[in-house]
């Protein structure tokens, strides 16, 4: 940051503070006197409270119920409860009084007359301006990317006035973000200026008085005094400056409502996923969002596995509450760093080694981190079975490993971005994955590449693959599984006894049936396999029967969780569509850059960006689903699945995940669509038919023995 900016920041802060203090001393000085009065009231309430707390029956005078001697009653609020009732009755009668309605209509008529007079007077000027602008902009040209004179003047002025102010405001905002104490200081001074200090002191004081007296009769006076205290804001502070604050509060409220909705949808999705078996298959025709739904389920399952691991960790922890689990975790972290522990099997091996050594030497300091086993015991009996501390350590270690894995639990044949973050201060880490957080995390991982050899129990594509046998747990996602595995018809020519690995001899189906075994920790299988394909019959029945088939019937139109956005949405659409019509005409006629288009375009762009960000953050779609067994012999159950835009469309995956293959082929040709020959007429000639290289056409000629 340059010295000029630093100087400006300090100068601005000093001026704003001085202004606040001067206004406090000149216009809002009564607030400070009122604070003094409120402090006296507070003190009398404290005395009253403590005296009554110790049950002394001394009559203590309390000034909290007296009118203020500092602030005059300028706002015309009823001073007593009786007057308030009388005014309310009069108000109620006036609301339904015919004369009052007529007077209001007359008042509205006068206001409308005034506004209409102004509008009618300025209308001819607008019409003349419109005609002038149309005449000026009607002239076509091809001056590519040349700024018109008015636009140049506008940009010159903007560079010298608007841009410096904008940069300065951005710089000052960043300065305040770095020195948040200054913001609190501004809030404090203005809070005192606007009498919030007095209101707060009176409120606390009255609470203490009410708690000791239960004097309901004094409630109205406090309400009236509150209105009187607020008159400093209502009468001496520009009310329109509160509009941005009120808007911010309203917007914050509706954002919270929208986030609650999104979390509710996510919870419903998690319930749906939990009902699925280990293997499931998402089906639907092209464009039905199969891969989107698949990816969404995988992301949710990834989070649920970590949450389940954490839940079970705590269960184990409380079985042996006095065991120093943190020391065990530290050892595990060290072993993971040095790669002596890298999967569930090595954790079991580590714990069993400790058990063997403990059984030999009974040294709790080395094997049990100083655990006092003589006092707290080595076993836990839950009435189903008795487990030893080493059994608990084995389960705990595996669960901990699953929970603190830095990389993703996703293993997939296409890339999925996972932005779960492990926050670690050196103690027990917290896994944080909020799909709907406002700020995007910069730390993210991608899914591991699925090496199919790791899930083949039979022949492998690469027999000396170092990854063989390593797969234990995770969320496996396979898109286009039918193209990978095939069905009986497609595999008719393939032989099981073949030397090379193929779908019949690789043991993948056997792995699918047994994948729970290596993944089960504490009787919970930390494995799920999600697949997708266009038709369920594309995958052989031997594997398909293990699945639940999730058929996507239809996708709803995009909805929005953010309430009360209709008017803003309408205005943004009007601006965008209106500008679109103008823009097309201008772009067709003119090649240069004009002031009108420049201003409208920037305003429309800002509104469009605002609208898009709202829809992207709070938009969602509903998939109508029919879930059935893989055997496809039972009635399908209708369900709903929610796709939230912010979760699934923020650069999570590429819907054209196999595009690399096609792009590679396209780069090797010298031809594009524009080079394909076109038909000469409405009917194809014989030559044109042959150019199709179609089985149907060639078949017809072969059958008839006709000339080619």
Partner 1 sequence: MKSIKRFFAVLVLIILAVLLSYLIFTGKAVTAIDEIAKAVQEGGFYG
Q: Which residues bind partner 1 (CB under 8 A)?
A: 76, 87, 90-91, 94-95, 100-101, 103-104, 107-108, 566-567, 569-570
Q: How far is the CB of 104 from partner 1 (least distance, A)?
A: 5
Neighbour count for residue 257 (Cβ, 10 Å): 15
Structure-block tokens of residue 420: 């779960």
Q: Residue 555: CB partners within 8 Å, gap ≥ 6?
A: 288, 289, 621, 622, 623, 624, 643
Nearer Cβ to partner 1 (102/169) = 102
Residue 634 Cβ vs partner 1, minimum distance, rounded to whole Å: 36
| Alpha carbons within 13 A on the beta-carbon side of 649 | 15
Nearest distance, CB of residue 483 and partner 1, angstroms: 39
Whether the Cβ atoms of residue 195 and residue 189 lie closer than 8 Å to each other: no
Q: Which of 87/496 has CB closer to partner 1? A: 87
Judged on CB neighbours under 10 Å (0-12, 13-18, 19+), 281 is buried
Q: Least distance (Å) from partner 1 to the CB of residue 568?
A: 10
530: Cβ contacts below 8 Å, ≥ 6 apart: 280, 282, 294, 297, 298, 301, 475, 476, 477, 478
Report the nearest approach of partner 1 to the CB of residue 123 (Å).
Answer: 23
CB of 559 to partner 1, least distance (A): 11
Minimum separation from the CB atom of position 95 to partner 1 (A) = 6
CA distance to 2, 644, 670, 691, per residue, from 676 (Å): 60, 41, 11, 10
- Which residues, in sequence order, are CB contacts of 447 under 8 Å at separation 6+? 298, 408, 410, 411, 412, 414, 415, 416, 417, 418, 477
Residue with Cβ nearer partner 1 (558 or 702) = 558
Using the minimum distance from each CB to partner 1, give the nearer residue, 113 or 637.
113
- Round to whole Å and give the CA distance between 694 and 679: 16
Q: Which is nearer to partner 1, 429 or 559 (CB)?
A: 559
439 by Cβ neighbours in 10 Å (0-12 / 13-18 / 19+) ranks as: exposed
Count of C-beta atoms within a 10 Å radius of residue 693: 8
- Do 595 and 151 form a contact (C-beta atoms < 8 A)? yes
Identity of the residue, 27 or 102, whose beta carbon is nearer to partner 1 in the bound complex:
102
CB of 612 to partner 1, least distance (A): 16
- Sign (positive/negative) of CA torsion 335, 341, 347, 349? negative
Of 133 and 246, nearer to partner 1 (C-beta) is 246
For partner 1, the closer of residues 342 and 564 by Cβ is 564
Report in angstroms how near the CB of residue 106 gets to partner 1 at its nearest. Answer: 10
List the end-to-end C-alpha distance of the chain, in Å, as a whole number.
78
Cβ atoms of 545 and 630 within 8 Å: the answer is yes
| Residue nearer to partner 1 on the CB measure, 235 or 663 | 235
Element spanning 629, H or E: strand 619-629
Taking the least distance from each CB to partner 1, the nearer of 570 and 599 is: 570
Compute the least distance from the CB of residue 522 to partner 1, in Å. 50
Nearest residue (CB) to partner 1, 568 versus 626: 568
**Closer of 88 and 163 to partner 1 (Cβ):** 88
Q: Which is nearer to partner 1, 567 or 673 (CB)?
A: 567
Q: Which residue's structure tokens are 């293997």?
A: 279
> What is the DSSP secondary-structure string of 283-332?
E-STTS-HHHHHHHHHHHHHHHHHHHHHHHHHHHHHHSTTS-HHHHHHHH
CB of 100 to partner 1, least distance (A): 6
Least distance between partner 1 and beta carbon 574 (Å)? 10
Which tokens sit at 41?
């009231």
Give CA torsion, residues 332, 338, 339, 340, to 10 deg: -60
Distance CA 59, CA 552 (A): 76
Q: Is 236 exposed, middle or buried (CB count within 10 Å of its CB: 0-12, 13-18, 19+)?
A: middle
Minimum distance of partner 1 from residue 99's CB (angstroms): 10
Residue 649 CB neighbour total at 10 angstroms: 16
């Amino acid at each position: 940051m340059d010295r000029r900016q630093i100087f400006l920041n300090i100068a601005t802060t000093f001026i704003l503070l001085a202004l606040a203090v001067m206004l406090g001393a000149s216009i809002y000085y009564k607030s400070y006197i009122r604070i003094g009065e409120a402090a006296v009231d507070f003190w009398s309430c404290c005395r009253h409270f403590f005296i009554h707390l110790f049950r002394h029956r001394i009559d203590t005078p309390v000034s909290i119920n007296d009118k203020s001697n500092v602030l005059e009653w300028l706002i015309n609020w009823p001073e007593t409860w009786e007057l308030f009732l009388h005014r309310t009755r009069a108000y109620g009668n006036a609301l339904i009084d015919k004369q009052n309605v007529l007077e209001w209509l007359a008042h509205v008529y006068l206001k409308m007359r005034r506004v209409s007079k102004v509008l009618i007077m300025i209308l001819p000027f607008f019409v003349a301006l419109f005609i002038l602008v149309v005449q000026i902009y009607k002239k076509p040209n091809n001056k590519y990317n040349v700024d018109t004179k008015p636009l140049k003047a506008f940009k010159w002025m903007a560079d010298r006035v608007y841009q410096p102010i904008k940069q300065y405001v951005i710089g000052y905002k960043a300065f305040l973000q770095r020195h948040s104490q200054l913001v609190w200081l501004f809030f404090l001074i203005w809070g005192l200026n606007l009498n919030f200090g007095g209101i707060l002191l009176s409120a606390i004081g009255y609470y203490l008085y009410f708690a000791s007296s239960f004097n309901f009769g004094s409630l109205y006076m406090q309400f009236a005094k509150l209105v009187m205290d607020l008159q400093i804001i209502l009468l001496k502070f520009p009310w329109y400056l509160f509009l941005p604050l009120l808007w911010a509060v309203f917007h914050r409220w509706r954002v919270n409502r929208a986030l609650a909705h999104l979390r509710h949808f996510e919870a419903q999705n998690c319930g749906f996923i939990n009902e699925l078996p280990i293997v499931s298959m998402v089906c639907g025709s092209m464009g039905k969002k199969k891969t989107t739904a698949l990816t969404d389920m995988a992301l949710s399952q990834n989070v649920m596995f970590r949450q389940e691991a954490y839940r079970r960790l705590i269960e184990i922890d409380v079985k042996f509450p006095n065991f120093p689990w943190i020391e065990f975790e530290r050892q595990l972290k060290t072993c993971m760093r040095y790669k002596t522990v890298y999967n569930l099997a090595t954790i079991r091996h580590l714990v069993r080694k400790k058990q063997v050594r403990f059984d030999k030497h009974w040294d709790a300091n080395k094997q049990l981190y100083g655990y006092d086993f003589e006092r707290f015991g080595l076993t836990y009996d839950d009435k189903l079975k008795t487990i030893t501390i080493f059994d608990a350590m084995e389960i705990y270690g595996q669960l901990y490993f699953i929970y603190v894995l830095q990389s993703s639990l996703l293993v997939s044949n296409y890339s999925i971005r996972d932005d779960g973050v492990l926050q670690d201060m050196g103690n027990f880490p917290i896994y944080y994955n909020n799909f709907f957080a406002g700020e995007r995390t910069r730390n993210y991982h991608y899914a591991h590449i699925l090496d199919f050899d790791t899930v083949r129990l039979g022949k492998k594509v690469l027999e000396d693959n170092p990854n063989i046998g390593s797969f234990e747990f995770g969320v496996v996602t396979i898109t286009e599984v039918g193209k990978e595995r095939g069905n009986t018809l497609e595999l008719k020519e393939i032989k099981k006894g073949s030397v090379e690995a193929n779908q019949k001899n690789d043991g993948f189906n056997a792995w699918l049936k047994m994948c729970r075994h290596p993944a089960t920790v504490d009787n919970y299988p930390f494995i799920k396999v999600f697949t997708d394909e266009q038709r369920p019959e594309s995958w052989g029945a031997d594997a398909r029967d293990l699945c639940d088939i999730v058929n996507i019937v239809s996708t709803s139109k995009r909805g929005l969780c953010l309430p009360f956005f209709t008017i803003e949405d309408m205005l943004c659409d009007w601006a965008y569509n209106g500008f679109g019509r103008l823009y097309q005409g201008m772009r067709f006629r003119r090649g240069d850059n004009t002031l009108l288009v420049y201003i409208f375009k920037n305003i429309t762009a800002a509104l469009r960006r605002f609208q898009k960000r709202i829809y992207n953050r709070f938009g969602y779609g509903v998939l109508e689903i029919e879930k059935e067994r893989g055997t496809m012999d039972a009635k399908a159950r209708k369900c709903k699945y929610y796709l939230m835009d912010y979760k699934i469309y923020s650069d999570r995956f590429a819907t054209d995940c196999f595009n690399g293959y096609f792009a590679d082929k396209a780069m090797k040709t010298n031809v594009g669509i524009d080079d394909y020959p076109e038909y000469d007429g409405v009917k194809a000639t014989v030559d044109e038919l042959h150019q199709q290289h179609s089985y149907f056409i060639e078949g017809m000629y072969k059958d008839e023995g006709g000339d080619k």
